[in-house]
Amino acid sequence: MATYDDDGSENEEGADGGSADESNDDGVKEFEDSQVTIDRRRGVLILSAIEVDVSTRPLLMVGLAERAAESVVIRSRPSIERGMVVEQEGRGKCLQTEGVNFEELWKMSPVKVDHTRITSNDIWAIRCAYGVEAARLPIVNEIRGVFGVYGISVDARHLTLIADYMTFDGDYKPMNRRGMIDGSSAFLKTSFETTATFMTDAAVRCEKESLMSPSANIVLGNPGDGTL
């Protein structure tokens, strides 16, 4: 802290209000009533040793340092909450992020990030960044991963059929009742979910049932001929 005398001359004080000694030839300034020493040449503050009574409650600095580190942002990217390096079997070390921003990953050096192996479980983000064909394979991988957790093996042909259905029109169609709204078979839609809603809508629109789908024939009790 700096104060001024009556004649306007500056008078430096220590951190606790004490007056400061003049700097020595090495540029080190020591304060009379403080445990702080300033080394101007090195640009550091030197704290004297502090004596603490053995009966004093211990202060764990590790927890304080960890909380302080968590609140400090070293580097940030839009739409990415955080990133971590994980070890994946067969792939080595991978950079895993919470959030998706392909544009920022493309800006990173290929030495740090292999741009040919970037993937995500956000199918829509992949479709927007790489196109619908690139979004097809992650659908298969994500479905296989869900069943794989329970030890269930599903033929790849079934999974690719689902992925083709969800992406064949160039967009990303959900595999639920919302994705079946444009379906041609009313009985097929009613056999899936919200039966009353689909039946009411079909009656209001005077839709016709061609009985070309297996689900529609099952609803009416028509057995198959074994050709499917």
Please tell me the total count of domains within the chain.
Answer: 3
- The per-residue pLDDT for 15 is 41
pLDDT tens for 97-149 read: 899 999 988 988 888 888 888 889 999 999 999 999 999 999 999 999 999 88
Computed over every residue of the chain, the mean pLDDT equals: 78
> Which are the contacts of 64, defined by CB distance < 8 A and separation ≥ 6?
none
DSSP 174-203: -SSGGGGTT-S-HHHHHTTS-HHHHHHHHH
Asked if the structure places residue 172 within a domain, the reply is no
- The per-residue pLDDT for 126 is 93
Asked if the structure places residue 137 within a domain, the reply is no
Asked if the structure places residue 212 within a domain, the reply is yes
Asked if the structure places residue 63 within a domain, the reply is no
What are the structure tokens assigned to 185, written together? 């078979």
Q: Using alpha carbons only, give the angle 27, 29, 34 rounded to the nearest 5 degrees.
A: 160
Asked if the structure places residue 125 within a domain, the reply is no
d(CA 204, CA 175): 25
Q: 190: buried, middle or exposed (CB in 10 Å: 19+, 13-18, 0-12)?
A: buried
The stretch 2-17 carries a mean pLDDT of: 44
Q: Is the pLDDT of residue 168 over 70?
A: yes
Asked if the structure places residue 191 within a domain, the reply is yes
Asked if the structure places residue 143 within a domain, the reply is no
pLDDT top residue among 183 and 70: 70
Among residues 127, 118, 67, 71, which one has the least CA distance to residue 97? 118
Asked if the structure places residue 167 within a domain, the reply is no
The fraction of the chain above a pLDDT of 90, given in percent, is 18
Q: Which domain holds residue 95?
A: 76-118
Q: How does residue 226 score in pLDDT terms, banded at 50, 70 and 90?
A: low
pLDDT tens for 68-109 read: 888 777 778 888 888 888 888 777 888 888 999 999 889 888
